Amino acid sequence: MLDVAEQAARTAGDLLHARFEAGRESRVSAKTTPTDPVSEADLASQRAIRTLLARKRPQDGFLAEEEGAEEAGTSGLRWVVDPLDGTVNFLYGLPQWSVSVAVCDEQGALAGVVHAPMTGETFSAVRGELPRRNGARLRWLGEAAPALDQALVATGFAYHSRVRCEQAELLTRLLPLVRDIRRFGSAALDLAWTAMGRYDAYFERGVKVWDTAAGALVCECVGLVVREIDGGIMVAPASLLEALAPIVEGSDGQAGAATGRAHRVPPD
């Protein structure tokens, strides 16, 4: 399963890398809001992944971001795919984007890959094992937690203006309490980088399961706590998450609930 996930991510990554180097995409449309774009590159990447999976795993289900792509399977497994995570970055010529491919069973993500073609980094994970970056095992982070005022925290912003207003208000409360905040624009890479220890914590509202399925598994496999929050996800070592959660979950005046692993996707 991991080999197939990596083949799919690399196939799409090679396609996207060539298009990125060729210049701006000429065909771009909007999805949920005018600031939420989809390009022909997103669609081409998704089609390449779907073609490969149809050949390698024809009995499995499929769920992906673009074109309402959802297909039932008969195997009890489902592939969850973001063919281009960080489309805005891609369109503006910024190299912070990735391909995310995960396969899920009834317990959640079983294996997953986050591939960043522009940096040559590939993060891979199998449930119950330490994940890897370019083949080298990541270190366990379960007990590595700074105090809140020493934490470097990553986040992202939703496409809906109302949610963005709430996120802006949250940042004004959170920023004085932590070391600093980063926002780069690819949820899948943010999760992988948190698992690498490049951030101490990450949270974001407005993400979907295709954004987080593979990256959340990578985080969980290094011992980080992965928690669903209201419309999103929060990831950190346990003690840091407990300090951060009341601030983040109270951002709209109502505490969010921990409802399990954010990458959990029931199969067909």
Each domain of the chain, given as residue ranges in start order, spans: 2-137, 148-249
Answer CATH for 2-137 from 3.40.50.720, 3.30.540.10, 3.40.50.1820, 3.30.70.20 = 3.30.540.10
Q: What is the mean pLDDT of residues 190-212?
A: 96
pLDDT score recorded for residue 164:
87
Q: What is the pLDDT of residues 117-164, one digit of tens each?
A: 999 999 999 999 999 999 999 999 988 799 999 999 999 998 888 888
Distance of CA 230 to the CA centre of its chain: 16
pLDDT score recorded for residue 161:
84
pLDDT score recorded for residue 225:
97
Euclidean distance between CA atoms 166 and 251, whole angstroms: 7
Tell me the one-letter amino acid at 157: F
Residues 6+ apart with CB under 8 A from 98: 82, 85, 86, 114, 115, 116, 117, 186, 188, 189, 192
Tell me the HSE value of 262 on the side-chain side, using a 13 A CA sphere: 35
Euclidean distance between CA atoms 42 and 51, whole angstroms: 14
pLDDT score recorded for residue 246:
94
Q: What is the pLDDT of residues 98-119, one digit of tens each?
A: 999 999 999 999 999 999 999 9
Rounded to the nearest 10 degrees, the angle between the axes of helix 40-56 and helix 2-22 is 150
Q: What is the pTM of this model?
A: 0.89
Instruction: Quickly state the pLDDT bin for 2 (edges 50, 70, 90).
Output: very high
The reply to whether 2-137 and 148-249 are identical in fold is no
CB-CB contact of 45 with 15 (8 Å)? yes
Instruction: Quickly state the pLDDT bin for 259 (edges 50, 70, 90).
Output: very low
Answer CATH for 148-249 from 3.40.50.2000, 3.40.190.80, 3.90.1300.10, 3.40.50.620 = 3.40.190.80
